[in-house]
Structure 1
């Protein structure tokens, strides 16, 4: 009865988090909200239809998808009244009273950092997000993001082993986009899928900005990697600022439209970061132990033995260059350069970008 009541609250049309919260404060637990007298509900700002729904048995309001959720061994609920409800999420103005979760519930009470950015990420941007996620995950932070294309997916991939939380804008029984179905199953193994939406809730544009407040609300801070000026990631950053969380931004090329979002945030007070240590140093004494320098890897100071490759490496940077520009800088013919670029790309030190351009891939931060 109790879990059915929680789900029934979610099914009452227009009964958002704030009114649900008011009901829970009045009646202490979800089941007590139902079949109470209509007079006890009059001063809570509820509509006549909402009051009428609360006179019913919760079992009459829930749907077959809700029953499947309750009966599945692979799905769970985190209620506002549960002791492991995420403490940071409790602090936001409109926390969801109920979270639908799949995966490792223990992630809910571990320190989290969000990494978000453009759905149309460049290869360099995706590699940067993945590298930051991997390095920050190794320090003990759980990486949160929104399972979207581009930067979100790269952040999740970087933290698959250490743990990552994907906050969905759909019901947690539906994966959107469908191309991330395999990634979602990988996340469940070491992390968590989270949604405030009831089962079988499909993707709607209005749900994703609401999803963003949970991403930032769960996290100590938000790191933005590549975002256009009108990007949804900037909504997450704004919400994080309103929630009193740290906001970090990775700068980029002044010529890239995807740098405008991070650069605007930096002008507005976000912390410019170039390494994982830059993030950790801002998170306060609680993470002092996490700020120890990570071991230096071969990629950090990689210098090719082949003199031609070394010359190409020195001539390149993280902004895309055409083969002609690289050849001119190196004094090589395009034929000579082509073989060198292929070898370096296979080795994982550079990437081909649209328009026949090439750039270095960043080492792990």
Structure 2
């Protein structure tokens, strides 16, 4: 893509997240026009224009990507994974090393506890291996426990690892060899720039990529409050299948899975169960979003802006709820939220939620 530099610079700039990036391109049609509009939009939101990423830093990132033997996938390009492009906040850019063709396979996500039991790890490893035999690639997050077991079981047939930091950062450190093996035999993905050490805020973003790439998510072992359940929730919100392996009610690590089943997740016990559930889904029927963006002029009047801002608080609220309560068109609500985000006054959450920062 000819404007890769500009797109990368825009997404690496302050106060511009995945949702804001897409809305800027949808509103202005090009990165150049979007960059020129930033000062005015931020002023309407009550703040200063976000600081653009340094051009030298962007060039250095592109050079580092090339040195790693990696490449970038931009939202809207023909090679961008179509299923991922369907979620509410798809990453505008992903770096990858390895076999990109795995993104065209039928993909199952497998997640679970970091402190998983030995029996659960053994089960996850065998399940991942069997899924490969059924023609599925397995995606997970390279964490300790179930993630590690899922990658180990599927690495020969096809595994996709999504890291929370940069492509060249090994986390956890003991999975260094596994991460490099995935980059060599499978596919390694990262939304963050090379050299980025993973922070707590990065993991929910990684989880939405895991859920977004897959036709369904399987939870093997998980506590009631865990990142694995966040991934499962994101999968459900994206319209994907949520599956869980039942466990003993005496083991706290199984309570999250049992809770998911009680709330409607599908109980599965084998690769054949998973294949029966999602095998018939035609993942190739999904088409990637169009590469071009047509400008859509939408501007909010001051009265609409005041009304929408008055509905926001420091608690997350769904954008659909803001539309309902404000009575304003969805495009106007989204524009006001974009102005606030660019001004540094709004935080985006998963599932199309937002709150004052």
Superposition TM-score, scaled by structure 2 size: 0.73
CA distance in 1, matches of 2:217, 2:8: 30
Aligned partners of 1:126 and 1:11: how far apart in 2? 37
Following TM superposition, by how much is the alpha carbon of 1:165 offset from its aligned partner in structure 2, in angstroms?
A: 0.8
The 3 A distance-change label for structure 1 pair 152 and 49 is same
Aligned residues: 282
Structure 2 residue 75 is matched with structure 1 residue 80 = yes
Partner-residue secondary structure (3-state), 1:114: strand
Unaligned runs of 5+ in 1: 288-365
Alignment of 1:192-341 (within 5 A): 192-283=187-278, 285-286=280-281
Shift in Å, 1:90: 1.1
Pairwise CA RMSD of aligned residues? 2.4
Change (3 A) 1:209 1:46: farther
Q: Is the 8 A contact 1:222 1:245 kept in 2?
A: yes
Please report how far the alpha carbon of residue 27 of structure 1 lies from its aligned counterpart in structure 2 after TM superposition.
Answer: 4.2
Report the equivalent of 1:49.
49
CA distance in 2, matches of 1:225, 1:46: 46
Name the CA shift for 1:179/1:163 in 2 (closer, same or farther; >3 Å).
same
Secondary structure in structure 1 of the residue aligned to 2:247: coil
Residues in 2 aligned to 1:264 and 1:254: alpha-carbon distance in whole angstroms: 10
Counterpart secondary structure, 1:48: coil
The Cα shift of 1:213 comes to 0.9
Partners of 1:161 and 1:44 in 2: CA distance: 53
Matching residue within 40, 55, 80 for 1:59 = 55
The aligned residue for residue 9 of structure 2 is: 8
1:65-112 CA-to-partner distances (Å, cap 9, x unmatched) read x04334326111000121021111111111111111111111222221
DSSP 3-state at the match of 1:233 = helix
Gaps of 5+ in 2: 283-357
Query: Matched residues in 1 for 2:137 and 2:44: separation?
Result: 37
| Greater RCO (CA < 8 Å, at least 6 residues apart) | 2
Larger radius of gyration: 1
TM-score (norm: length of structure 1): 0.72
Which residue among 119, 122, 143 is the counterpart of 2:117? 122
Shift of 1:241: 1.0
Tell me by how many angstroms 1:21 deviates: 0.6
